[in-house]
Amino acid sequence: MSSDYFFDDDFDDAALAEVEAIETAALQQAKAPAPPVPAPRRPQPQSLKSDSSIDMTFDIDESELAKLDDFVAQQYNEKVLQAPQAGPSSRPMNRTTSSNMLQTTLFGDIIPTQSAASKLKSPPSAAMQRTKSATRNIFGQQAPKTKIWDHTAFAQSGNKPKKGAKGKGKGKASAKDDDDEEEDSIELPVVPDLLEAKHWIFPTNRAKRDYQYNIVKNCLFDNTLVALPTGLGKTFVAGVVMLNYYRWFPEGKIVFVAPTKPLVAQQIVASHDTCGIPGYDGVELTGQVKSATRARFWQEKRVFYMTPQTMESDLASGACDPLDVVLLVIDEAHHATGDYSYNKIVRFMMAKNPHFRLLALTATPGNNPDSVQRLVDGLHISKIEIRNENSLDLKPYIFEKVDKFLPDV
């Protein structure tokens, strides 16, 4: 079958001519420029007025409108004036806690409230003074520099060789700057294990006591005085802090000092049995161990349990290098007054390596602020963790003593 068969038509010529004429006319119309399209118009709001049935004329009195404007303006101005302003408050500070109780001292005395007038005597700038910015510690934390080593006082102790004479005209301030520079320029020979230093551990082979956990957490990052009543686990707290420094500083040395040999022995047991510090890395150093042997142990071991007199002697002989010590734990810290061995050790250590961590433990910090302050100064303490029998977090662990007559059976 041929395709021509389908397209063969028999239309009338006249009709075809008419169709052609219509096509031509349509084409010409398409080529002609399009008439401008009117821009789309926004729908106009319907005028309500167009509805003649609604009367939209307002008959509010102009004076009433003016009053309304005044009222709004007045309210606005009051708001602006009451808005919080930057800068020191002119209101007297209220020395109360959030529960609206009066603030007390460490010993439970109420701090006397000063009159607002006397408080305002000191310029706000004095209250807002910032401490000197501290360098970052080995953990990358911005540890506040709370204590500046008193080189003058230390020089009087005779242990530190006097520095070369300073040039004339160098005032006190510049001497202090030099001291700070010297302190900051000390490079730590002991580097932390950065993976281990990312976390700290708290052994759970003993029941977890919140106060012990909180105290340990603070002791890890500040030179802390821990005052806990007898029998509440200071030995355990010391052991946990020691364990963490032992893990963080694989090359660092940890020293525990206690005034008597039984106390030294008690810590060895707790550190080893309870906290898991390996026994092979620890050694008990007392005066009975010959100095040559002690010198060898200082090379080989990492954890040292000693009396303060032995430590003092090993620092003086050079057997113990203060730069190697990362943690010094002082048991029965209330002994640290005057020229006791504890104070000498800390003075010496601070002069040579102010970057070591210090933990001081006692059950009897003293019964007045001055005695606590003496410990704080003598041991370069920057934080105090103090609890007594009335501390709420100790209540579950303190048992009252009751005297009872028991008849013979």
Ligand X SMILES: Nc1ncnc2c1ncn2[C@@H]1O[C@H](COP(=O)(O)OP(=O)(O)OP(=O)(O)O)[C@@H](O)[C@H]1O
- Binding interface with ligand X (CB under 6 A): 206-207, 209, 212, 228, 230-236, 363
**Closer CB to ligand X, residue 212 or residue 353?**
212
**Closer CB to ligand X, residue 232 or residue 257?**
232
**Closer CB to ligand X, residue 212 or residue 271?**
212
Distance CA 238, CA 228 (A): 12
Give the E-state strand segments of 135-186 in sequence order: none
Closest Cα to residue 108, out of 365, 333, 367, 362?
367
Alpha helices in 270-307 (DSSP H): 291-300
Instruction: Give the 3-state secondary structure of residue 206.
Output: coil
How far is CA 355 from its chain centroid?
Answer: 18
CB of 274 to ligand X, least distance (A): 7
Give the E-state strand segments of 113-257 in sequence order: 224-227, 253-257
CB of 100 to ligand X, least distance (A): 34
**Closer CB to ligand X, residue 274 or residue 309?**
274
CB of 211 to ligand X, least distance (A): 9
CB 179 within 8 A of CB 350: no
Burial tier of 31 (Cβ tally within 10 Å: 0-12, 13-18, 19+): exposed
**Cα dihedral 331, 335, 336, 340 in deg (nearest 10):** -110
Closest Cα to residue 325, out of 343, 304, 342?
304
**Closer CB to ligand X, residue 212 or residue 313?**
212
CB of 257 to ligand X, least distance (A): 14
CB of 226 to ligand X, least distance (A): 9
**Closer CB to ligand X, residue 220 or residue 228?**
228
Instruction: Please count the helices (runs of H) and the strands (runs of E) in the chain.
Output: 14, 7
Quote the tokens at residue 190. 């002991």
Distance CA 25, CA 379 (A): 110
**Closer CB to ligand X, residue 228 or residue 285?**
228
**Closer CB to ligand X, residue 228 or residue 349?**
228
DSSP 365-381: --SSHHHHHHHHHHHT-
CB of 244 to ligand X, least distance (A): 16
CB 196 within 8 A of CB 248: yes
